[in-house]
Structure 1
Amino acid sequence: MAAYPEPGDLIEIFRPAYQHWALYLGDGYVINVTPIDEGPPAMFASAKSVFSRKAQVRMQLLKEVVGNDRYRINNKHDRTYPPLPVEEIIRRAQRFIGQKVSYDLLGSNCEHFVTLLRYGEPVSDQANKAITTIGFVTAAAGALSLLGILHSRSRERQY
């Protein structure tokens, strides 16, 4: 039997190329961030928010946010960061509904938002993986560039 979300639970929604995050409020509703210029359908909201600088905090039905995608309850940081009391999580979430917030993939994304509500700490494994990947790609590009310079210098000496 599938588990049902409880108020304050983090909901991980599996989009085709990334995960979108929401926080369960109760009675079938979640809070999540969506781009300001986007309306329905919700399944495209997070993809467009990657390119947006501002997002809207919305309270929506979980089934509308999920659409045809899969989701799961994922309170993955509970061992590292103790969750705030449920009443506090919900109170904090309700203060954000309808507000415009800044959005950026690496520093202030949908996962940062919901973990801030649940734990009081903005945490995003997706952002950490992206930062690591960017660092690796940058280092690799630098190494290849250096090899190219060294190779061209060694060819110059031959002539």
Structure 2
Amino acid sequence: MSQPERKISEIRQTGFLHHAELIKLAKPADLLEFDRGLYKHWALYAGGGMVINVCGEDCNKTEAWVRLQPIQYVCDLHPVPRYRLVRINNTPDVPGCLLRPTPRLPDRAMEEARLMLDTKVPYEYEGRNSEFYCNLWKFGRIFSEEAMKAGKNGII
């Protein structure tokens, strides 16, 4: 018997976990939040322990690559073990918005993200960051809580 399709409006959030525990719970198109201490990093879960990740090669660059990468690799990028944890966070926190955006169907979100694989995209910490792109794929809207914290309006 096949599993029922997830509801479009399903919103889930977990606590921060080791990546091996998280992949037991994650489903394709879940937003993953990586704890980096002073900031958060985001990726879209693709299934099979892989994520679609917006990653730069140098912190001073204004461009980043959209890559399919193992979740373990993304977790292990931080040198401090306590900042290698990740959680499912499908709960959008849209600054200044009373209504939460409706997530796209998982297949649609994954299709949008896969179209951008192996491409360079504009990147800036206070705007077009990993959260910006993940929200674009998941919700079809572009917003960033990190940008809001940095003093921008958060909706781009």
- Could you state the TM-score of these two structures normalised by the residue count of structure 1? 0.70
In the TM superposition, what is the alpha-carbon distance from 1:17 to its structure 2 partner? 2.3
In the TM superposition, what is the alpha-carbon distance from 1:129 to its structure 2 partner? 1.1
1:131 corresponds to which letter in structure 2?
Answer: G
Residue 11 (structure 1) aligns with: 32
1:58 aligns with one of 60, 64, 67? 67
Q: Which has the higher helix share?
A: 1
Separation in 1, partners of 2:104, 2:148:
23
2:116 corresponds to which letter in structure 1?
Answer: F
Q: Mapping of 1:1-159 within 5 angstroms? A: 4-35=25-56, 37=57, 48=59, 51-67=60-76, 68=81, 69-77=84-92, 80-131=100-151
Separation in 2, partners of 1:64, 1:119:
25
Of 110-119 and 73-82, deviating more is 73-82
Residue 42 (structure 1) aligns with: none
Percent of aligned pairs with the same amino acid:
34
Separation in 2, partners of 1:82, 1:60:
26
Q: Which runs of 5+ in 2 are unaligned?
A: 1-13, 15-20, 94-98
**How many residues get paired?**
120
Separation in 1, partners of 2:70, 2:52:
9
What whole-Å deviation, never above 9, does each CA across 1:73-129 have from its counterpart, x for those lacking one? 001118601110111111111111100001012221110000000000112111111
Q: Which runs of 5+ in 1 are unaligned?
A: 39-47, 133-159
Let me know the Cα RMSD of the aligned residues: 1.9
Separation in 2, partners of 1:12, 1:27:
17
Separation in 2, partners of 1:64, 1:105:
21
SS at match of 2:131: helix
Separation in 2, partners of 1:53, 1:110:
13
Residue 137 (structure 1) aligns with: none
Greater relative contact order structure (CA < 8 Å, 6+ sep): 2
In the TM superposition, what is the alpha-carbon distance from 1:64 to its structure 2 partner? 1.0
Q: Which has the larger radius of gyration?
A: 1
1:75 corresponds to which letter in structure 2?
Answer: N
SS at match of 2:150: helix
- Could you state the TM-score of these two structures normalised by the residue count of structure 2? 0.71
Separation in 1, partners of 2:142, 2:45:
17
